[in-house]
Structures are given as C-alpha cells and as structure tokens.
Amino acid sequence: MWVPIKRRNWNNLKNIQRVRLIIIETLDNIPQNIVLFNNQRWNKFVSVGGRVESCDFSECDALKRETLEETLNAIDISELIESDEKVQFNETSVGNERTRIYFLKIEICENEVSLECVFNENKIILDHCRENVPKDWKEMNSIKRFPFGNILRAINNDLVCIEDQGGVPWRVYNQVLEYVDKGLKEGVLDRIDPITEYENILNNKSFLNGTRTIKLKA
C-alpha cells in the first residue's frame, strides 16, 4: 500500500537497505518516457539510487545523495522528496534486501532545460576535472529516454533489450521493469502530480565547478 513519506532516524533504517528513483517524463500528465542511466560496471541501463549509508539521516537523504551522484549533479530533488503530491514510494524485497522505490513525474515543456544536455555537459567537465573526483560520481556514463510503450511491451513479453527514443536497443536492468510493473499495479502514477517548475543552477564548488543542476520544485 502507498503511504506518506516520513523521515526517520538511522537507527530505524535497518529494514531499508536500498533506495531507487523511477523518473517518468509526462505530456499532459500522460507517461511518455522513462529516463535511465547506463551503469558502467553492469553495462545496463538502470534507475538512479543505491545503498542507504551510515551517513544518511533518512532514506530520503540517501536518495537525494544518490540522485546527485548518479546524474552527475544534473538533478536535485531535495526540495520535493518529502512532498506526498509529487513523490510516492513502495517497498519490495530484492533477495535479502529491502528496497524503497520512489516515483517522480516530470512534465515535458517546450522551453525545458534538456536533462540529457545537462548530464552530458557535466560528464565532460568531470572527465576533465583536475581535482580528484570521488568514485561514486563515476558510476554512470550515459543517459537515455525509453518510450513508456516500449517499457510496457518489455514487461509483458519478458524482453531483455529495449529500444530507446531513437529506436536503438539497449540492455535494461530487469529490476527496473519489476519496479515499474509494481508501481502501475498499485496505481502510483495516478496519485502523484508532475513537476513543472525547476531552477537551473551553475555550480562553482570543488570538483563540481562549472557543472549545472536542475533543481526540481515541489
């Protein structure tokens, strides 16, 4: 059952080992694409997210951190992660680990800042950075949009490779399909409103100097 997001102390996080974020682009609130990132180690497209670490006060903090790292500082969800109208989650077990899956919808706008452009520009900056870039910021090397219809066909037909927006097939991590399928069955997409406002921020700190961030607004 879908429940409101609540912050909790680290001592109470023992049952939540991982967090994931499913980013869905919409047009007039109708799902169009799912945005995924290529994990270099697995050579598969995945949703952003990862392990809840001891430095994270809550699972929300873990997802904020992981989203910044794995989108190469392109997406900041810190202002909206606890908005029940904009983000909701469900929980599932993957092996022996408990995973909390968050869903976020972003409305496609004519004058939108291209997430792909920001990600790719940031990657170039980090690849040529003279400072030491932490390894957590090097896991993802590309971004693709996958049409929602292609994702549904993959779910219904157990497909391994899925065509992106340009018709090129890529390997997609199977658990992404499981997460989306579970979210659809629970009706999560009907329960959240799409993001339509954001702030475009230019960063000037440390190894992130020159990178841009799309800060999503609740």
Q: Residue 40 pLDDT > 80, yes or no?
A: yes
pLDDT tens per residue, range 59-90? 899 999 999 999 999 999 999 887 777 888 88
Q: Residue 110 pLDDT > 90, yes or no?
A: no
pLDDT tens per residue, range 140-159? 999 999 999 999 999 999 88
Q: Which CATH architecture has domain 10-216?
A: Alpha-Beta Complex (3.90)
Owner of token pair 């994270």: 56
What pLDDT does 87 receive? 87
The span from the CA of 19 to the CA of 94, in Å, is 11
Q: Looking at per-residue confidence, does 2 or 212 come out higher?
A: 212
* Domains of the chain, residue spans: 10-216
Written in H, E and C, the secondary structure of 78-118 is: CCCCCCCCCEEEEEEEECCEEEEEEEEEEECCCCCCCHHHH
Q: Which residues pair with 103 in a beta bridge?
A: 22, 88
